[in-house]
Amino acid sequence: MPVNKEILDEIALSQAEYDMIVDRLDREPNPVELGMFGALWSEHCGYKHSRPLLGLLPSRSDRTLSQAGAENAGAIDIGNGLAVVFKVESHNHPSAVEPLQGAATGVGGIVRDILAMGARPIALLNSLRFGPPDTAANRRLLKGVVDGIGWYGNCIGVPDVAGEIYFDHCYSQNPLVNAMCVGIARIEDLASAAADRTGDVLLLAGAGTGRDGIHGASGLASRTFEEEQELRPTVQVGNPFLEKSLIEACLEALATGRVRALQDLGAAGLTSAAVESAARGGRGIALDISQVHRRESGMTGYEVMLSESQERMLLAAAPEHVPAIREVFDKWDIPCHPVGAVTDEPYALVTDGAEPIASAPVSHLTDAPRYRLNGQPSAESVERQRLRLRDVPLPADAGAVLLQLMAAPNIASRQGVYRQYDHQVQTNTVVAPGAGDAAVLRIKGTGQAIAVAIDGNGRQCFLDPYRGAQMVVAEVTRNLSCVGAEPLALTDCLNFGNPERPEIYHQLEQSIRGMARACRALGVPVVSGNASLYNESQGTAIYPTPIVGGLGLLEDARRHCGSGFPEEGLTVVLLGASQLTARASDLAGSEYLNTMHGMVRGRPRIDLALERRVQSFCRSLISDGLARSAHDCSDGGLAVALAECCILGDGRIGGAGSVGFVASDEMSRNIPARWDAALFGEAASRIVISVDAADVHRIIAAAETAGVPATISGRTVGNSLRIDGLIDLPVEELAGAWYGGLNNALQ
Amino acid sequence: MRFGILVFPGTWSDTDCHHAVSGVLGQEADYIWHKEDSVDGYDAIIVPGGFSYGDYLRAGAIARFSPVMGAVRDFAAQGGLVIGICNGFQILCEAGLLPGALRRNGHLEYRCQWTHLRTERADTPFTNRCGAGQSLAVPVSHGEGNYYADASTIAQLEEQGRILFRYCEPDGTVTPDANPNGSVDNIAGIINEGRNVLGMMPHPERSCEALLGSDDGNLIFGSMIDAGANRAGAGRPGAHH
């Protein structure tokens, strides 16, 4: 087959990669084969640039039940014979082209990854990035993405329990839509995606195959992104109603014990599902695409093999079990047809009826080339790290700064978004979105609960990818600790620009190294993940944005904590800082610098050993019932954290609501001249807790023993937030700014 | 007490309702597949929430034609207790068991949040454990919960005492601010003339445990259990089929 650059560009393969294919096959590939190679060797499926680096991340602990990459998602033993399965995945480019369908199918796709593990999906999370909301285009993207997540998630009955949204110019052309799903299964019921038994029948269940999404993996997910208009047909269209029935039918089929292997059809559709299942099982496959049920006529073999039509699953089962499995799908009115078989010889053979249309060794298809490049920080990136406090003018009024930050699009309450998502269905949600630093879901039939959170901080990773990525891991585990959960494991989605550029490769490598260091220091493995590279347009990349999802465990679901101050008369203690400092590094990449001074500068720092002690101490206070609330200092620093604790108040349904705060004399006295850095700096490893006054001295003493700095910041009283000489604002006014901020920005 | 919980393709509150009446309240409960044409042997039927048949066309519009809904109609006609929750309320309206319709929320957004419901009367099989005027914390989660009926129907509902729940403030005051979807007169739930069929948008099965924020929903299911016990002497509906 004669190829040219145009054809290779279409499937995102280089000439060298094409030559490698010819070499391996010892002949030219035909168009179907070339399409299959293109999809499986895409960055999205083949992890050409990321896999060598992903090996740096710790992937095991005594609770891991699967190895990262070996199955569709990571599985963690939470005790009582139960496994929690979870993974985060990107759907960035489809969402940029068609935000509603792109985001919706992102949710659908990650749900099927969890389903493929034999787990029931019990929670969704998402992490979103957009350009500033001051342009109609960015607002349209946000609205479309939120509508898509809500539409799909609400319809399938999986609660959307946590998430984050940030705005920055770098995401204007490249919004990020990362979706995470969490599932639960009995350990012995976990399914495998390995088609490992010769003679098993391959059954394709779910939606008819259509022309939607062809080249999603190679075209959308693996290239930079210039001509969006042309790409619309490559976006998939979702049917959440069918997905809901597909979930039930697959779980019911698995419960019969007759399904040998289960695999979702995601990126690269049938090609990837069939070939990767065979590769996992060390077997081959024979597919007859004339048996694939379709939603449109006249499709070519190429189109059938590469379609990314949604809501499809591939099952492998012994021939004698096929009728019983099909009966289950019949009950749910879901088409389920034999499309091939598992073969002994590790070969992928595709026919259309009797006519062969593709044939290649499985290992040739799945062993994508791997590239290890040389990263090089750009000159500007070094310059950006320089930040001196004297270059930052001190504002006149701390109260005005606080009000402005509370209303800033990156800090304001997300209530307007999460109340559009059903976050309660399945009746497990103990700590709902907005009420705590992580969501808490009880596990029915046990006294336990899990906590889940998702975090990223592109700005700090942009300033220092190594330290920034450490801070992301620290923050997500800190959020779990703030609700009282012990962090068990992480999942990551690596959103970066074009790795073929040295400065981007540098960001990728350093971020992964930073994550790996923090994971080791904090004792959590990364058990699943996804890489989304090539997030750039017109040569401008997004900030390096590793997004990390965390899973934590509470042995006693009742021993959890919310963020808000639950009542008046409590003492407020700051963990992690013995005094309020004013260092330039505290302001590095802060929202204060961004919002008030339009600066993205500095070099963040974190002490991981301190971080670990602070988190562990916070958890022990919660499990001992001593902490009445816990909230970490992140965006906007200590002052914003205190304001949020006041606004959230007792958090009870129909409860009294907000509570005031007055700083102690000691805190007010010790605020340095650069109060901006002290109050709004984002130094890591700090948690604001409230405790009963009677317990304070015991807690301070225990903190000292644990090597955790702890200082009394003030007490909860009245209905305003007061730091003498600097801030005196009614909580109602702060709440107005915070709750209204995002809505006002979107008008 | 034996509850039957309907399951349509797209239903998702079925397991939540099962957990509430069985796991929390200790009653018997079975799922009833939409293709069944009998609900014999049950003391009460729950039509749960979800997106039955994808809610294509209109919420509840297709589910009403399912075989099981024919059986539920007969069951209700004989005085059997039926509670439709969220999508179940929509289905009961589409099936003609309750008057009116549920339109898209006034603000056009899906809304999942806690609401409070004023119990307008306590002398029904669904509220006998409540006090008249009692405020219950029960959450909503819907995009089409904006109850509408024409003025004469509303007047009739009012006159016959069939408006059972209204969205209110925590203290029981009915205000426009407490209304999450723009429904007429803050209506959250209504009953039929025979007082044995309730349709409500909020989800009582989500508020049956203090750990989840409220256990007020138990008052509604508990009332049904009491009412069922009282009826038991008279024989179960459907028993003579």
The DSSP line for chain B is -EEEEEE-TTB-SHHHHHIIIIIIT--EEEEEETT----TT-SEEEE--B-GGGG-SSTTTTGGGSHHHHHHHHHHHTT-EEEEETHHHHHHHHTTSS-SEEEPPTTSS-EEEEEEEEE--S-STTTTTSPTT-EEEEEEEESS-EEE--HHHHHHHHHTT-EEEEEE-TTS---GGG-SS--GGGEEEEE-TTS-EEEESS-GGGSSBGGGTB-THHHHHHHHHHHHHHHHTT--TTTT-
Residue A107 CB neighbour total at 10 angstroms: 31
| Amino acid identity, position A73 | A
pLDDT of residue B241: 39
pLDDT of residue A229: 42
pLDDT of residue A612: 98
pLDDT of residue A69: 63
The DSSP line for A448-478 is -EEEEEEE--HHHHHH-HHHHHHHHHHHHHH
How sure is the predictor about B75, in pLDDT bands with cuts at 50, 70 and 90?
very high
Residues 94-113 of B with CB under 8 A from A: 109-113
pLDDT of residue A293: 96
Q: Is B86 assigned a catalytic role?
A: yes
pLDDT of residue A224: 57
Selected residue with higher pLDDT from A465 and A655: A465
Q: Is B73 on the interface with A (CB under 8 A)?
A: no
pLDDT of residue B232: 66
CA A287 remoteness from chain centre = 34
Instruction: Give the model confidence (pLDDT) of A306-344 as tens digits.
Output: 999 999 999 999 999 999 999 999 999 999 999 999 999
Q: What is the mean pLDDT of residues B196-218?
A: 98
Q: Is the pLDDT confidence value at B237 over 60?
A: no
pLDDT of residue A217: 55
Residues 6+ away with beta carbon under 8 Å from A277: A193, A194, A195, A261, A263, A285, A314, A316
Q: Is the pLDDT confidence value at B149 over 80?
A: yes
Q: What is the mean pLDDT of chain A?
A: 94
Determine which of B57, B87, B112 to mutate to test the interface with A (most A C-beta atoms within 10 Å): B112
- Nearest-neighbour CA in chain A from B11: distance (Å): 8
Half-sphere exposure of B84 (CA within 13 A, CB side): 31
How sure is the predictor about B239, in pLDDT bands with cuts at 50, 70 and 90?
very low
CB contact under 8 A, A558 and B205: no
3-state helix, strand, coil in chain A (%, to 5): 40, 25, 35
Residue of A nearest to B204 (CA): A427
Q: Is the pLDDT confidence value at B59 over 80?
A: no
Tokens of A404: 């402005």
Contact A307, A273 (CB under 8 A): no
pLDDT of residue A42: 87
- Nearest-neighbour CA in chain A from B203: distance (Å): 9
Q: Is A104 on the interface with B (CB under 8 A)?
A: no
Q: Is B205 assigned a catalytic role?
A: yes
Q: What is the mean pLDDT of chain B?
A: 93
CB contact under 8 A, A420 and B208: no
Residues 6+ away with beta carbon under 8 Å from A268: A36, A39, A40, A42, A44, A45, A216, A217, A218, A306, A308
pLDDT of residue B231: 77
**CA–CA dist A660, A564 (Å, integer):** 11
Residue of B nearest to A434 (CA): B113
Per CB-CB distance under 8 Å, the chain A contacts of B23 are: 444
Contact A73, A190 (CB under 8 A): no
Query: Could you tell me how many helices (H) and strands (E) chain A has, helices first?
Result: 27, 27
**CA–CA dist B181, A362 (Å, integer):** 55
Gyration radius of chain B's alpha carbons: 16
CB contact under 8 A, A425 and B113: no
Q: Is B41 on the interface with A (CB under 8 A)?
A: no
Token pair 């700051």 in the structure block, residue? A574
Lowest-confidence segment of A67-81, A567-581, A658-672, B209-223 by average pLDDT: A67-81
Instruction: Give the model confidence (pLDDT) of A722-732 as tens digits.
Output: 999 999 999 99
Please give the helix or strand (H or E) that residue A107 lies within, else none: helix A99-115
Burial A660-699 (b: 16+ CB within 10 A, else e): bbbbbeebbeebeebbbbbbbbbbbbbbbbbbeeebbeeb
Instruction: Give the model confidence (pLDDT) of A96-133 as tens digits.
Output: 999 999 999 999 999 999 999 999 999 999 999 999 99
CA dihedral A421, A427, A430, A433 (to 10 degrees): 0
How sure is the predictor about A218, in pLDDT bands with cuts at 50, 70 and 90?
low
- Nearest-neighbour CA in chain A from B110: distance (Å): 5
pLDDT of residue A1: 58
Q: What is the mean pLDDT of residues A489-508?
A: 96
pLDDT of residue B60: 76
Name the percent of chain A lying above pLDDT 70: 97
Tokens of A556: 């006693």
CB contact under 8 A, B10 and A239: no
Contact A401, A395 (CB under 8 A): yes
What number is the ipTM of this complex? 0.95
pLDDT of residue A219: 53
Instruction: Give the model confidence (pLDDT) of B162-187 as tens digits.
Output: 999 999 999 999 999 999 999 999 99
Per CB-CB distance under 8 Å, the chain B contacts of A428 are: 212
pLDDT of residue A215: 66
CB contact under 8 A, B51 and A444: no
- Which one-letter DSSP state was computed for residue A200? P
The DSSP line for A206-225 is ESPB-STTTTIIIIISSS--
Half-sphere exposure of B103 (CA within 13 A, CB side): 14
What are the two backbone dihedrals, phi and then psi, of residue A309, each rounded to the nearest 5 degrees? Answer: -55, 140
Taking CA atoms, A6 is separated from A2, A44, A218, in Å, by 11, 20, 14
Q: Is A100 on the interface with B (CB under 8 A)?
A: no
Q: Which of A453, A484, A486 is nearest to A562 (CA)?
A: A484
Instruction: Give the model confidence (pLDDT) of A252-301 as tens digits.
Output: 999 999 999 999 998 889 999 999 999 999 999 999 999 999 998 999 99
| Amino acid identity, position A544 | P
A563: left (phi over 0), alpha (psi -120 to 50) or beta: alpha
Q: Is the pLDDT confidence value at A68 over 90?
A: no
Q: Is B180 on the interface with A (CB under 8 A)?
A: no
Q: Is B51 on the interface with A (CB under 8 A)?
A: yes
